[in-house]
Amino acid sequence: MLDRFHDIDDKLADLEGRLSDPSLINNQQEYQKVVKEHAHLSRLSELLDSHRDLEKQIDGNRALLQDDDEDPEIRELAELEIEELSSKLLELENDIQAFLLPKDPNDDKNIFLEIRAGTGGDEAALFVGDLFRMYGRYAESKNWRVEIMSSSPLGIGGFKEIIAMISGDQVYSKLKFESGVHRVQRVPETEAQGRVHTSAVTVAILPEADEVEVDIDMNELKIDVYRSSGPGGQSVNTTDSAVRITHLPTGLVVTCQDEKSQHKNKAKALTVLRARLLDQLEQEQHDQISQDRKSQVGSGDRSERIRTYNFPQGRLTDHRINLTLYKLEAIMDGKLEEVIVPLTLFDQEEKLKRIQ
């Protein structure tokens, strides 16, 4: 396996030379590309060095086994160490293969998190708020920044919908498998009989789109301004600061009213629109290769029920990988790694099967 990487040191030296070239710094887009490639190859070089080191240790122990004059106890220890080192070597080879999988170009991007109430009335709206707090606490644990772009709060304390931008390191790579229908089973506070109700909300994770990826023709936009309003029609301010943008070719509509400035609301709405247009393009590509995606985590269909949160039993079930955890309280408090890591590993394993 290592023969494929005989020239990695030369490639690293070449990249380091380019990084020291003052002219490259003037081209920030190319500079960032070289920085990422250098970081990727450096990490791969570290993994390969560890692989070579383990192979040397195994060869050394095998030499002890072939020495007829060696102490029997030493030979027994050598056999045990070979077994242990071989297990580590296999694990490392899997890590190297996973590291070499084609990288999702969106993994490094910030995201727009969109959560909308589905079936279930007020209970669904309340769960929108609960999920937003869950993702917010997870983001806090990662030192990510959360900025609300648009929201439709209800007087009961929940939201009809809420859209937020989450920015930081590797946000999309962590949250990309959260898109889909999230079902909640619990007893509403207003339920006198103690009966469990089932509600649903939809979550969409949209990678932030660069302007070069999605070029918006301003002549294809219909922009309306109006006065912001809060729950029950209560006036938030007395100026026409809220903005509604309609993308005429696709019919996509984005509204933003959380800022007091019309210009800020317009800028936010445009960033959300750009992300939705990119998502639409990617969904179209996904439809073309849907057969290839069937073996990955989920189908990519927003209508797919991906997860159930059962509060009476304190249980979370992710239906895509048959994962069940009785740690619902901790997960709702933002401890999502126990869900995210198995989803990521499953996706890597399925991709590895197709290239082996």
The contacts of residue 3 (CB under 8 Å, 6+ apart) are: none
Instruction: Note whether 61 and 125 are same-domain residues.
Output: no
8 A C-beta contact, residue 217 and residue 231: no
Distance, in Å, from the CA atom of 88 to the CA atom of 123, rounded to the nearest integer, reads 49
What would the pLDDT profile of 47-78 be if each residue is shown by its tens digit? 999 999 999 999 999 988 888 777 888 888 98
Angle at 110 between CA 296 and CA 41, to 5 degrees: 70
In this structure, the answer to whether residues 121 and 93 fall within a common structural domain is no
What CATH number is attached to the domain comprising 335? 3.30.70.1660
| Spatial separation of the C-alpha atoms in residues 77 and 218, rounded to whole Å | 73
Residue 325 pairs with which residues in a beta bridge?
316
The verdict on 193 and 308 lying in the same domain is: yes
- Binned at pLDDT 50, 70 and 90, residue 233 comes out as very low
> What pLDDT score was predicted for residue 312?
94
- Quickly count: other Cβ atoms within 10 Å of residue 250's Cβ: 12
Last residue of a domain, one of 74, 99, 124: 99
Report pLDDT digits (tens) over 188-210: 876 767 789 999 999 999 988 76
CA torsion, points 218, 146, 182, 340, in degrees to nearest 10? 120
Note whether 91 and 164 are same-domain residues.
no
Note whether residue 356 is domain-resident: no
Q: Are residues 77 and 152 in the same domain?
A: no
Burial class (CB in 10 A: 0-12, 13-18, 19+), 28: exposed
94 and 237 share a domain?
Answer: no
User: Using an 8 Å Cβ cutoff, are 188 and 197 in contact?
Assistant: yes
Whether residue 19 is found in the same domain as residue 147? no
- Record the pTM: 0.66
Which residue, 75, 99, 123, sits at the end of a domain?
A: 99
138 and 247 assigned to the same domain:
yes
Residue 152 lies in a domain: yes
Residue 276 within any structural domain of the chain: yes
Query: Distance between CA 149 and CA 167 in Å, rounded?
Result: 12
Q: Indicate whether 355 belongs to any domain.
A: no
Residue where one domain finishes, among candidates 79, 99, 119: 99
Write the CA distances from 9 to 14, 18, 50, 92, 271, integer angstroms. Answer: 9, 14, 15, 20, 41
Q: Are strands 180-186 and 159-167 parallel, antiparallel or unpaired?
A: unpaired
Q: Dump pLDDT digits (tens) for 80-136.
A: 999 999 999 988 887 787 777 777 888 888 999 999 999 888 899 999 999 999 999
Answer whether residue 104 is part of any domain.
no
Instruction: Work out how many domains the chain is built from and give that number.
Output: 2
Query: Does any domain span residue 87?
Result: yes
The answer to whether residue 61 is domain-embedded is: yes
The reply to whether 35 and 116 lie within a common domain is no
pLDDT of residue 129: 95
Both 240 and 138 in one domain: the answer is: yes
242: pLDDT confidence band, cut at 50, 70 and 90?
Answer: confident
Beta bridge partners of 307: 182, 318
Calculate the alpha carbon distances from 214 to 160, 211, 275 in Å.
28, 5, 8
Q: Lowest-pLDDT range, 22-36, 117-131, 143-157, 173-187?
A: 22-36
Domain contains 105: no
90 and 195 in a common domain = no
Report yes or no: 43 and 103 within 8 Å, Cβ to Cβ.
Answer: no
Indicate whether 148 and 295 sit together in one domain. yes
First to last CA, the chain: 12
Assigned token pair, 152: 């439709």
Range(s) of the domain holding residue 336: 111-350
